[in-house]
Amino acid sequence: MKTHEQFADDLALYALGELAGNDRQELEEHLHTCAACRRELQALRGDLGLLGLSSSGPQPPARSKERLMRAIAAEPRRASSPSPAELPKRGWGWAWAPTLAAVALLVVAIGMWRSNRGLNDQLAELSNRNQDQSVQLDRLRGEMRLLTAPDAVHVSLNPQQSPKHPSGTAIFSPNQKRMIFMASNLPAVPEGKAYELWVIPMNGAPIAAGVFKPDEHGNAMMMDHEMPPGVQAKAFAITVEKEAGSDKPTSPIVMMGAAG
């Protein structure tokens, strides 16, 4: 179904009699319910009528010609101009030549406007796609820098007690102060709960590093997280906490791994 703006685009072609088929039928149905389009159509038809009247046409009635000649005779004499008899006669077809030319220009202008609008829409869509791809590319570059950093440390987290044997890996770079965590085969957490990752420093209490939930296959991933500032990691651990996270561990450790 066309929008109001699309129907408005077809009004000029309809006023010229150049709209046919389903487009014409849909526009006529739309005109029955849209007062704005009816007013616009009436204005377009009025403009075309004035355009036709602006060019010379068939001979006027004799009485009109006599009144015109008397008015001309009553006017003061100016520079002489050719009499009507001396002017070359133009046929009926020539009378419509300016109107047809104007109509043709109008149709061409409408076509160019539609084409330009379509190109602008395509350009905007391509620009949005390019921005999305740039964001994804920047994120992937950051993850690759972390994974390939010379000082990257891989820490494997082993389950403390679990029949499903879940596993987890933390990768962090002390220089970049970034980390990635990946886990698999994790049991589902209760409603309102989530897993929370902890960085255990050389000295002091564990520091929260983010919460996550596994998917239906038990897999989870935390990409490109910031390491707690000024902390030298001794180990990583996971506990089950409330969904919003906790400032300190409140449940037993599910998995734990030393940073070496």
- DSSP for the chain reads ---HHHHHHHHHHHHTT---HHHHHHHHHHHTT-HHHHHHHHHHHHHHHHHHHTS--SPPPHHHHHHHHHHHHHSPP-S----TTTSPP--HHHHTHHHHHHHHHHHHHHHHHHHHHHHHHHHHHHHHHHHHHHHHHHHHHHHHHHHT-TT-EEEEEEESS-TT--EEEEEEETTTTEEEEEEESPPPPPTTEEEEEEEEESSSS-EEEEEE---TTS-EEEEEEEPPTT--EEEEEEEEEETT--SS--S-EEEEEE--
What's residue 95's pLDDT? 54
What's residue 159's pLDDT? 63
**CA distances (Å), 29 to each of 32, 33, 83, 167, 208, in order?**
5, 7, 52, 66, 64
pLDDT values of the chain reduced to their tens digit, one per residue, 260 residues: 677 777 777 877 787 777 888 888 888 888 888 888 888 888 777 766 655 555 444 454 555 455 545 555 555 555 444 555 554 555 544 455 566 566 667 667 777 776 777 777 777 888 788 787 888 788 778 777 877 788 877 777 766 555 567 888 888 888 888 888 888 899 999 999 999 999 999 888 999 999 999 999 899 988 777 888 888 889 999 999 999 999 999 999 988 998 86
What's residue 178's pLDDT? 86
What's residue 199's pLDDT? 93
Q: Residue type at 43? A: A
Count Cβ atoms below 10 Å from residue 142 Cβ, excluding itself.
Answer: 14
Instruction: Decide which of 1.10.3470, 3.90.550, 2.60.40, 1.20.120 is the CATH code for 153-258.
Output: 2.60.40
Provide the whole-model pTM: 0.43
Domain boundaries, the chain: 1-57+92-148, 153-258
